[in-house]
Amino acid sequence: MRAYLAFIKKEGLELIRTYKLLLMFLIFFAFGVMSPLMAKLMPDLMSQLALEGIEISLPEPSAIDCYAQFFKNLTQMGLLVIVLMFSGMLTQELGKGTLVHLVTKGLPKSTILLAKYTVASLSWTACLLLAFSVTYGYTVYLFSGDEIFHLFYSVSVLWLFGLFLLAVSSFFQTIVKSQATQLILVAFCIGGLFLLKLFPKMEEYNPLTLVTDNVAMLDKAYDLTSLTIPIFMTIGLTIVLLLGSLLAFFKKQL
């Protein structure tokens, strides 16, 4: 446990010294600010861009528009930023051979892999909380009278999918040497989940549901029990991927 905590500290300091953590915070803070502002200003922007003689009528913005923009930013760009930032957390060190000395000194491979995944997960959690806190504060200020349902639940399943995506990235980093190849494999994995959505019978098992129905979840009538299977499937796949990563890393020659 002491080695695990020490390696987490080492990874955290590296994120700070390389300014990766600062960059992620700035990006997610921008996502948090942009979401309510875009929802508030979009009708005015569209009316100004309208051609002469053409009237564009948009409904008055509401809190739901803010969160729709928030989930759009986080599911499309936020998750991409996290995957890119941590896509080389293992492959780069394996390429440089910097882990050989640590392993020969007795540091377990499991400690290295789990510590790196823990730091990536904590970073994703902090960035998501930052973006959500900013969006929530601005939305309450701008649309204080609007009622939203299941908001924290919707953000929680987005967080869970992010942990799953980091596990996918970790797994592929233990079986390929190239960072670019690893990113391509992650993209193929997500593409496969999108293909599964074409089959209605597979929809209830698809982890992708956790990041495609976020806005729909804000409706009072949305049945949260329909997400029970996707949630447990996502948790199960995350655990399997981490176990697979450990097994592949144990067998990997440093």
Residue 55, SS3? Answer: coil
DSSP 85-142: HTTTTTHHHHHHTTHHHHHHTT--HHHHHHHHHHHHHHHHHHHHHHHHHHHHHHHHHH
Instruction: Please write the tens of the pLDDT for every residue from 162-202.
Output: 999 999 999 999 888 888 888 999 999 999 999 988 888 88
For residue 47, what pLDDT is reported?
Answer: 57
Angstrom distance (rounded) from CA 199 to CA 211: 17
Instruction: Please write the tens of the pLDDT for every residue from 25-40.
Output: 999 999 999 887 776 6
Q: Where are the domains of the chain?
A: 2-251
Residue 44 has pLDDT above 80, yes or no: no
pLDDT: is 97 or 205 the higher one?
Answer: 205
pLDDT: is 65 or 184 the higher one?
Answer: 184
Residue 199, SS3? Answer: coil
For residue 10, what pLDDT is reported?
Answer: 87
Residue 95 has pLDDT above 90, yes or no: no
State how far the alpha carbon of 153 is from the alpha carbons of 216, 228, 236, in Å. 12, 12, 19
Terminal CA-CA length for the chain:
23
Residue 226 has pLDDT above 60, yes or no: yes
DSSP secondary-structure letter at 61? P
Per the CB < 8 A criterion, the answer to whether 4 and 107 are in contact is no
Model-level pTM? 0.90
